[in-house]
Amino acid sequence: MSDKPIILVTNDDGLNAKGIKALVAMVKGFGDIYVVAPNRSNSGKSNSITVEVPIRIKKVRDEENLHIYSCKGTPVDCVKLALNKILPRTPDFLVSGINHGANTSVSVLYSGTMGATIEGCLNGIPSIGYSLNDFSADADFSQSIKYGRKIFANLIEKGLERSVCLNVNFPKGDINGIRVCRQADGRWKEEFDHRQDPFGGDYYWLTGYFKNAEPNAEETDEWAINNGYASVVPTKIDMTAHQLVEDLKTWDYEVED
Amino acid sequence: MSDKPIILVTNDDGLNAKGIKALVAMVKGFGDIYVVAPNRSNSGKSNSITVEVPIRIKKVRDEENLHIYSCKGTPVDCVKLALNKILPRTPDFLVSGINHGANTSVSVLYSGTMGATIEGCLNGIPSIGYSLNDFSADADFSQSIKYGRKIFANLIEKGLERSVCLNVNFPKGDINGIRVCRQADGRWKEEFDHRQDPFGGDYYWLTGYFKNAEPNAEETDEWAINNGYASVVPTKIDMTAHQLVEDLKTWDYEVED
């Protein structure tokens, strides 16, 4: 077995997306690369797992230092299967993306790209999710590759605290530099597109736009990508609002029999 | 339009689960109840949203102070559709569950019950997710209803900080009391069940068990439910590891042209 670092590569746009090819190019030369990615788009799949149907995996091909597998599951399924059934040992690093579309602010909660990244983190693997603020299938990832590689090289050199992963977002076009940020406050505002099928049945398409609650906050990821910077947000698994634990102890919990 | 509080009820086990009927019983009398829930099980769906197929909703029936809708989508889809297309106005409260199975520790990340709860929270609605540590379809929710109602009454009286929701878990059997906790550190350890179909194709069932990294930490939700207590964890939307933002600014971000 090779003693090179093992790098697990996955995404949520599927194995044929341009973004995952860019990601392989980004980490090339840093170790043995295993790509285990969904066979089709899994956008918006968050941390979801497949529990009610079985999952299939298929080896696509081997090249030098590059092994590619296709998986009929979610991004998190891909990571779990890679760790348990595909890789020769626990990987040294996980990278996910490069997503076609930004995953700033609360999109971290819906994102399959970040779902896979968080799954790597849960398993103690230093993990980075990368996204580019451009939904187009033919997006230009050349700048993302250059800046993303620099962040990855830092991760290799400096490591990362357990239970924390990185959420990296690139602006469209030229990049002015890299900023470490916090997640912006905001939310998606839905606009359902209501239609009727030929048989009179109603159905709805989920559409909408992101509403930033603090567009001028320069320390946020949203501000960064809207001003030409790549954003790096340290992202943690623990969702406890620790500052409220003591407050909530003052509620009345006496239950009568 | 009624000026009673509006309570949105959803879950991830689907409209026919015993748990959601228990949840309706729990909040009965507190206002006008709208149930908008998936038409079938959506376990493990996390915060996922449906973007590649349209979503259908169907009114099931109206009773006094109770309106029931079935939705062919994820728990988060149910909340988004309820807010945008079904409810007469933004609801005053959202409750999700009662899930058949615990959602303590990192299960908050995979849980559809908590996905819906977090979605309510994102929309500024005071929201609680409830789960019972019993997977059986015929689980006994009588204690959960009693203790859950007490927590809900506190929420009505005291309110909750914006961007924070509650993750409530009940032990199986008798409840000794309610404890405010933090999320336990731990992870799911997968054991894929490998099989072959009649045509020689491989497939895998995702199975596994939860491995608690700190079984003796009495301030955690896992300890609580394993010792007969209901756990209340304040859960926040912001996943930023704030304590690391300054650290990460010391990395080298100089990218050569």
Interface contact flag, A43 B54, Cβ < 8 Å: no
Minimal CA separation from B253 to chain A, in Å = 6
Residues of chain A with C-beta less than 8 angstroms from the C-beta of B187:
122-123
Residue A28: is its pLDDT beyond 80? Answer: yes
pLDDT of residue B219: 98
pLDDT of residue B217: 97
- Domains in chain A and their CATH numbers? 6-184+215-248 (3.40.1210.10)
Minimal CA separation from A181 to chain B, in Å = 7
Residues of chain B with C-beta less than 8 angstroms from the C-beta of A185:
163, 238
Residue A12 annotated in ligand binding = yes
Residue B78: is its pLDDT beyond 70? Answer: yes
Interface contact flag, B118 A109, Cβ < 8 Å: yes
Task: Work out the pLDDT band at B14, boundaries 50, 70, 90.
Answer: very high
Which residues 6+ apart lie within 8 Å of A149 measured at CB?
A: A26, A27
ipTM over 0.90: yes
Closest residue, chain A, to B157 (C-alpha): A251
pLDDT of residue A2: 62
Interface contact flag, B255 A147, Cβ < 8 Å: yes
Strand order in the sheet with B164-170: B57-63, B66-71, B32-38, B6-10, B93-100, B127-132, B164-170, B229-236, B177-180
Q: Give the residue with greater pLDDT, A148 vs A198.
A: A148
Minimal CA separation from B33 to chain A, in Å = 22
Residue of A36, A39, A43, A46 to mutate when probing chain B, most B C-beta within 10 A: A46
CB atoms within 10 A of CB A247: 15
The string of pLDDT tens digits covering residues B188-241 is 998 899 999 998 888 999 988 999 999 999 999 999 999 999 999 999 999 999
Residues of chain B with C-beta less than 8 angstroms from the C-beta of A234:
240-241, 244-245, 247-248
Residue A174 annotated in ligand binding = no
Of A80, A58, A70, residue with least CA distance to B192: A80
Residues of chain B with C-beta less than 8 angstroms from the C-beta of A147:
255
Closest residue, chain A, to B167 (C-alpha): A240
Q: How much of chain A, in percent, has pLDDT values that exceed 70? A: 99
Q: How many CB pairs under 8 A join A and B?
A: 221
Residue of B12, B13, B46, B150 to mutate when probing chain A, most A C-beta within 10 A: B46
Q: Kindly report the backbone phi and psi dihedral angles of residue A235, in degrees, each rounded to the nearest multiple of 5, phi listed first.
A: -125, 130
The string of pLDDT tens digits covering residues B111-155 is 999 999 999 999 999 999 999 999 999 999 999 999 999 999 999
Which residues 6+ apart lie within 8 Å of B140 measured at CB?
A: B134
Residue of A122, A248, A256 to mutate when probing chain B, most B C-beta within 10 A: A248
Interface contact flag, B109 A56, Cβ < 8 Å: no
The string of pLDDT tens digits covering residues A153-176 is 999 999 999 999 999 999 999 999
Q: How far apart are CA A122 and CA B46, in angstroms?
A: 15
Residue B37: is its pLDDT beyond 80? Answer: yes
CB atoms within 10 A of CB B227: 12
Q: How confident is the model over A45-67, as a mean pLDDT?
A: 92
Residues of chain A with C-beta less than 8 angstroms from the C-beta of B233:
240
Residues of chain B with C-beta less than 8 angstroms from the C-beta of A232:
248
Q: Kindly report the backbone phi and psi dihedral angles of residue A14, in degrees, each rounded to the nearest multiple of 5, phi listed first.
A: 95, 160
pLDDT of residue A238: 96
Interface contact flag, A182 B122, Cβ < 8 Å: no
Minimal CA separation from A20 to chain B, in Å = 20
Residue A1: is its pLDDT beyond 70? Answer: no
Task: Work out the pLDDT band at B257, boundaries 50, 70, 90.
Answer: confident
Minimal CA separation from A61 to chain B, in Å = 17
Q: How far apart are CA B249 and CA B246, in angstroms?
A: 5
The rounded Cα A40 to chain-centroid distance in angstroms is 16
Residues of chain A with C-beta less than 8 angstroms from the C-beta of B49:
44, 46, 110, 206
pLDDT of residue A199: 87
Task: Work out the pLDDT band at A191, boundaries 50, 70, 90.
Answer: confident
Alpha carbon of B157 to those of A78, B25, B152, B154: distances in Å? Answer: 44, 19, 9, 5
pLDDT of residue B2: 62
